[in-house]
Chains A and B, each alone.
Chain A
Amino acid sequence: MFKEGLGETSKFSEYHPTVNLIYFVFVIGITMFATSPVFLAVTFFCAWFYSVILRGYKAIKMNIVFMLPIFAVMVFVNTFFNHNGETILFYLNKAPITKEALVFGVAAAIVLTSVIIWFMCFNVIMSADKFIFLFGRAAPILGLLLSMTFRFIKLLKVRFREISEGQKCLGKEGNKRILSRIRQLLKEVSILISWSLEASIETADSMEARGYGLKGRTFFHIYKFTGRDLKMMILILISGGISALGCIMKEMTMYYYPVLDFPEESWLTAVVLTFYGILLLLPAISDIYGELKWERLNSEM
């Protein structure tokens, strides 16, 4: 059922935008500071897991494409250019290469890829609409501005395609010489600009005709904050709050220099880890539960 990924049909994305936003603030915020091995492993696993749920098999490919170069660069740079740490593995051109630097490079690479993967999930969940809503809440004009920008970008693409086709119809573009091809491209861009400018005058008229610029503009939205959202919000706040607290209390932190200092396992760490795990898995659980419920309802019919 997750072959193609849930994408926008994800149950978690059906929650109120504020819920989604707060969730990702917590997750990405904490992920950046969770450096001890267990936490690293949990973060890494959960991020992968959720991205596969959302985006299917193609997420695996994408994640690896992003991960490999990051790993390569970070581990390489940190190992060979950072000479902190006491456990010297060998000397390269008289520079000490240390175990600590190597391990830290790996840890940092994991943190960074996890953050990137979380951002990819964020991208799926937080559609343009939700962004516009959140901004519009802050200031109506910001929401409108974003909404217009999204429309304009799409309009530009469509127009540019039309222009290219129109020029091809004229029998232009057949020329292979680089100079005349550049000239043709510039020409097309210039058409695009003058067309768009001309059209924006009309858009501005249309806005003013419908009262844009009057005092006291409001912002309309179609999101409702329901009891379900409230429950999810409370769950996020509790698990996120405890995790954040744990993070502040350095329960998730590990020192890599001068020597690797593995943190002691305490009951407090276990509690923080549990809540952190719950926090990270919340959307995945809600999505899987939703899918199962859907399947069951379907089979009952």
Chain B
Amino acid sequence: MGTVEFRNVSFKYPLSEKEALKDVTLKIDASEFVVVCGKSGCGKTTLLRQLKKNLIPYGRLEGEVLYDGENPAVTDDRKSAAEIGFVRQDPDSQIVTDKVWHELAFGLESLGMDNSTIKRRVAETASFFDIQTWFRKNTDELSGGQKQMVNLASVMVMQPKLLILDEPTAQLDPIAASEFLRTIHRINREIGTTVILSEHRLEEAFVMADRVVVMEEGKIICDDVPAKVGTYLSGEPRNDMFLGLPSVMKIFNEIEPSGESPLTMREGRIWLESFLKDRIIPETMQRELPPEIRRQEQGKDRRESKNDEQGHGKGTDKSNKEGRKSNKDRIYAIEAKDLWFRYSKKEQDVLRGTDLRVPKGQWLSILGGNGTGKSTLLKTLCGVIKPSRGDLRTGGRISMLPQDPRTLFTEITAEEELQEALYDKNESDKEKAEKTEKMICLMELQEIRKMHPYDLSGGEQQRLALGKVLLTEPSIILLDEPTKGLDAFFKRTLAEIFMKLTEEGMTIVMVSHDMEFCAEYSYCCAMFFDGEVVSADAPEDFFSGNNFYTTVSNRIAGKWFPKAVTYQEVAGCVKAMM
């Protein structure tokens, strides 16, 4: 029970030239845990939707899709509802009712069960998912992670045999996301439900999966146990999906192109231990990285030399320490001194004397736990919130990209969306058209310019929103979790765009949970804690100084190479030893 089979399935959306699925053959046994991964728009969602009767997309299907030996399109409605659970990305729009308990009961009500049966099922489900304490709450009072947990529980309450999850953690913060994934793992282990999970956050999913399916342009390019997937993707030319692999696997496959990779951090450390056993690590590695692998330094050097030309020294923190003596007339994009803010009289202060100075052309990442007030800080800098005390000076126009890009979209095509940003400007139509055109090129929106903003994928929406924000011609741009829900490949594209912008003199301040992204690309990282910016440093110094709050790569290899924070740096260090 709960088996799935795709036999040579091809699928084409109406009006589309490309096939969304090409000759997909896949067999999933009962109680298996399968992770489906791939770049945005590779056909993951199309594949998963074939299995749930009411979600099957319109289009031309060839081949055979089988759930328990029968075609899901003709299964009995009752069976499809009860046996196949489907959880999607957006936590909010999947919730139907106003109370948690009512939401849990929804499916069972549909199946026509009586009150006492529903009560028993709801009770045991709530206990399993640990939602007893907020069982009677309103659904709108919950956090994103809790909402998604309710969505999962309200599907599991119907005791499905097959659970399908389509990027369920894309909208969640890392802590909520890993809790969610752990719960799915528990469901699979303890209850034996077959799980198909499509996911960008592979760091955790890989450890849980029995099998990983990698898709590219509608085809399955790899279907194997997690430990071997890296081998396929690391081959030349390197597949784009390689970037999305867990750090341990990336390090392993950089060094050993084939073989079974370690999956967890612990396994990775054990492997490195045995690998480096007989080698003596030179003293210099402790202090700095070998020169040939400072990939990131290039960007930084460029930035520094540029800054020097304009006469304002190096990165934020160092410049604070060293630069103060040398030149006082450095240009800061943002100068905030002693900012205080609280939302209401009775609450605690969110900002407690925050000091922040960001030089022009800087790309600063602010990291920190949930609910510490990072977003509040951004809103304050942007002027949406007025600080109750303190001094804030900004050099130039500030714009902020909100967390949800949908809050910006008003028009019916992507192109008009960009034009709308220029509506208030006193410029000729020709100038406006030129600017729009330039932005379309910069954000690589050429292919989707005529599409409705809501029909775009998450990454495309993000790009369009960013383009719109940039058209207001800010000199400082604030970003709230810009990498949320993006695939690893697009993250790199985004980072390249940001680098280009800083070269043109733009200042970027970003709030993020994504340590890997900040470590790899941004110029300066800072930690926000207890209402203050606690430490600010270049990424390699910032992360290597941290013990708990650091990248996976640094955690694995920090013992040997404390300065290596990205997977390339760790792999480079290891290679340098060979």
Contact = CB atoms under 8 A, between A and B. Distances in A.
Interface in A259-286: none
Contacts of B78: 211, 214
Given A150-B98, A165-B384, A218-B113, A210 B107 contact: yes
A129 B454 contact: no
B98 A151 contact: yes
A165 B375 CA distance: 12
Contacts of A147: 96-99, 102
Contacts of A212: 106, 110
A297 interface: no
A210 B154 contact: yes
| Best-surrounded residue of A175, A200, A216, A218 (most CB of chain B within 10 A) | A218
Given A162-B402, A169-B400, A210-B155, A151 B97 contact: yes
Contacts of B111: 211, 214
Contact of A195 (B86, B109, B140, B406): B406
A28 B158 CA distance: 43
Given A169-B399, A170-B421, A220-B122, A209 B382 contact: no
Interface string B413-453: 00000000100100000000000000000000000000000
Interface residues of B, number: 67
B55 A205 contact: yes
A238 interface: no
Interface stretch (A87-95, A186-194, A227-235): A186-194
B474 interface: yes
Contacts of B384: 165, 168-169
B208 interface: no
**Secondary structure dominating the interface of A:** helix
B327 interface: no
A150 B90 CA distance: 19
A199 B110 contact: no
Interface string A175-217: 1000010000001001100110011101101111111111111
| Best-surrounded residue of A162, A199, A210 (most CB of chain B within 10 A) | A210
B34 to A, nearest CB: 20
B470 to A, nearest CB: 11
Interface string A106-143: 00000000000000000000001100100000001000
A194 B409 contact: yes
A65 interface: no
B88 interface: yes
A193 to B, nearest CB: 10
Interface of A: 128-129, 132, 140, 144, 147-148, 150-151, 154-155, 158-159, 162-163, 165-172, 175, 180, 187, 190-191, 194-195, 198-200, 202-203, 205-222
29 contacts: A129-B99, A147-B96, A147-B97, A147-B99, A148-B96, A148-B97, A151-B97, A155-B92, A166-B404, A167-B407, A168-B382, A168-B383, A169-B384, A169-B399, A169-B401, A175-B424, A191-B410, A199-B90, A202-B90, A202-B94, A209-B52, A209-B55, A211-B81, A212-B106, A218-B112, A218-B113, A220-B115, A222-B101, A222-B136
Return the 9 tightest CB-CB contacts between A and B, nearest first: A211-B81, A166-B407, A211-B110, A169-B400, A216-B112, A220-B105, A210-B107, A199-B93, A151-B98
Given A194-B409, A209-B55, 13 more contacts: A129-B99, A151-B98, A162-B407, A167-B407, A168-B384, A169-B402, A170-B472, A205-B55, A205-B88, A210-B158, A215-B112, A218-B108, A218-B118
